[in-house]
Structure 1
Amino acid sequence: MPIQTPLRGLRVAVTGGTSGLGLALVRNLAAQGAHVAFIARTPGAVERIASETSAHGIVGDIASKEDIHPISLQILGLLGGLDVLINNASSLGPVPLALLADTQCEELEQALAANLVGPFRLTKALFGALAASAREGRGAVVVNISSDAAVTAYAGWGAYGASKAALRHLTGIWAEEARGEGVAFLSLDPGDMDTPLHALAVPEADPATLKHPEDAAAEIITAIRSALDADTAAEVQR
């Protein structure tokens, strides 16, 4: 019989938490009793969502090297540690989407900074806290939000797809390296969702054909619970 890991009291950080999938995750996690800190760039939106959900809002840009240390300190100060990190914030790169030959170098750098280097820096800054949580028997999980563009070469999605492919592979390597520390790493593709980011990428898409962010958030939380249950079961067997 699987060990049940309740979300109540779980310490979770979510990047890009004021819209789309990130907002759905913040709302769902907070409603289930998790202690949530979320990060976004717009002060007004951060204040509004924090008030609405009682989650802790942090203003910052994970694509900015200078913001990572202050963000990580605030996460740990507000939550008193960390059990789950969800790297959700993303950048499309050029908008409208462009062929690689028409993509500016700076646009590729922007996508890499937000989708790859930012999550790497934030995870690295918080890894010690996650490993400590695993040692305490709470479990520890890092979720990197991926995309089918990470595995399928779609014309026009070069900056986004390449950065997500790199993040996906980075996740797999870190999963191997962190297994001994008890920190699980998951790369999860939520599918095509009715979000502002998708609307920017594919403005002609019919929202009725897209997944609701709330449904995707529920699936991701189920995956997190499964990873935490596995960690707890392993700890019990030691």
Structure 2
Amino acid sequence: MRTNDDLKGLRVAVTGGTSGLGLALVRQLTAKGACVAFIARTTANVERIADETGAHGIVGDVGKKEDIYAIALQITARIGGLDVLINNASSLGPVPLALLADTDCEDMESALAVNLVGAFRLTKALFGALAASARAGRGALVINISSDAAVNPYPGWGAYGTSKAALAHLTAIWDEEAKADGIRLLALDPGDMDTPLHALALPDSDPSNLKAPELAAAEIIEKMLDGLLVNAFAIGAHV
């Protein structure tokens, strides 16, 4: 049984891995022995975090259809398969935030492309690798990072909240459908964090009132381990 202090050999992919929550996850997972691949759009940032952590950096944009299969192929090649996918990359849509009536269609499309469709495409592209991991008894888990904006109708957060609400429901449906393949899917809300994305959305907010991304990452890793454990028991019950 894996513990929080020893994730040696666990193969994890994290999108949006060069800042905020994604970066905290990459740092903590590698420190605990996991084999990590992370994805981000900026080459210099990817190279810097790869050098710092020893994780496998992949340059790509999950919001672009043409990048998805290249990303998926690099993940499985670099870390030898996949046990856990964390869809963390997010787009606010309009910046500064705007009421829905003032939101350009292109900004709504951008939020949906990254937060919903990108997560869907990457999960779909890696579904076979995750199923293979489940069959091998390693566990298979997808964590989709959600938000309380998926539930609460905050004015100005229409594009982001809509995309995250859709992501949460997609996760729930896919979790039911993927049980036969031994794959579990979870949508997790890490809370309001002191991250560049939050600062971009609300530049006047007080960081002291926000959760540190390092704390949120530790909580997600705990839930990741719980999800893998539950999945292992469920698979064992059907053997």
If the TM-score is normalised by the length of the shorter chain, which range does it land in?
A: over 0.9
Q: Which residue of 2 aligns with 1:29?
A: 29
Between the aligned partners of 1:42 and 1:209, the Cα distance in structure 2 is 29
* TM-score normalised over the length of structure 1: 0.97
Asked whether the equivalents of residues 182 and 235 of structure 2 are also in contact (C-alpha less than 8 Å), the reply is: no
Q: Which residue of 1 aligns with 2:117?
A: 117
Between the aligned partners of 2:208 and 2:69, the Cα distance in structure 1 is 40
Q: Which residue of 1 aligns with 2:47?
A: 47
Between the aligned partners of 2:93 and 2:228, the Cα distance in structure 1 is 33
Q: How far apart are residue 234 of structure 1 and its match?
A: 3.1
Asked whether the equivalents of residues 16 and 23 of structure 2 are also in contact (C-alpha less than 8 Å), the reply is: yes
Q: Which residue of 2 aligns with 1:164?
A: 164
Between the aligned partners of 1:206 and 1:219, the Cα distance in structure 2 is 22
Q: The residue matched to 1:185 in structure 2 has which SS?
A: strand
Q: How far apart are residue 229 of structure 1 and its match?
A: 1.1
Q: Which residue of 2 aligns with 1:218?
A: 218
| Aligned-partner residue type, residue 185 of structure 1 | L
Identity %: 71
Asked whether the equivalents of residues 14 and 39 of structure 2 are also in contact (C-alpha less than 8 Å), the reply is: yes
| Aligned-partner residue type, residue 229 of structure 1 | L
Per-residue CA distance 1:180-207 (angstroms, 9 max, x = gap): 1110100000000000000011111100
Q: Which residue of 2 aligns with 1:18?
A: 18
Q: How far apart are residue 179 of structure 1 and its match?
A: 0.9
Q: How far apart are residue 232 of structure 1 and its match?
A: 2.2
Q: Which residue of 1 aligns with 2:188?
A: 188
Between the aligned partners of 1:170 and 1:41, the Cα distance in structure 2 is 25
Per-residue CA distance 1:144-170 (angstroms, 9 max, x = gap): 000000011000000000000000000
| Aligned-partner residue type, residue 139 of structure 1 | G
Q: The residue matched to 1:194 in structure 2 has which SS?
A: coil
Alignment gaps of 5+ in structure 2 = none
| Aligned-partner residue type, residue 61 of structure 1 | D
Q: The residue matched to 2:8 in structure 1 has which SS?
A: coil
Alignment gaps of 5+ in structure 1 = none
Q: Which residue of 1 aligns with 2:56?
A: 56
Q: The residue matched to 1:215 in structure 2 has which SS?
A: helix
Between the aligned partners of 1:99 and 1:235, the Cα distance in structure 2 is 46
Q: How far apart are residue 72 of structure 1 and its match?
A: 0.4
Q: Which residue of 2 aligns with 1:9?
A: 9
RMSD of the alignment, in Å? 0.9
Q: Where do 1:60-79 residues align within 5 Å?
A: 60-79=60-79
Between the aligned partners of 1:222 and 1:203, the Cα distance in structure 2 is 30
Q: Which residue of 1 aligns with 2:151?
A: 151
Between the aligned partners of 2:181 and 2:129, the Cα distance in structure 1 is 11
Between the aligned partners of 2:143 and 2:7, the Cα distance in structure 1 is 16
Between the aligned partners of 2:104 and 2:148, the Cα distance in structure 1 is 23
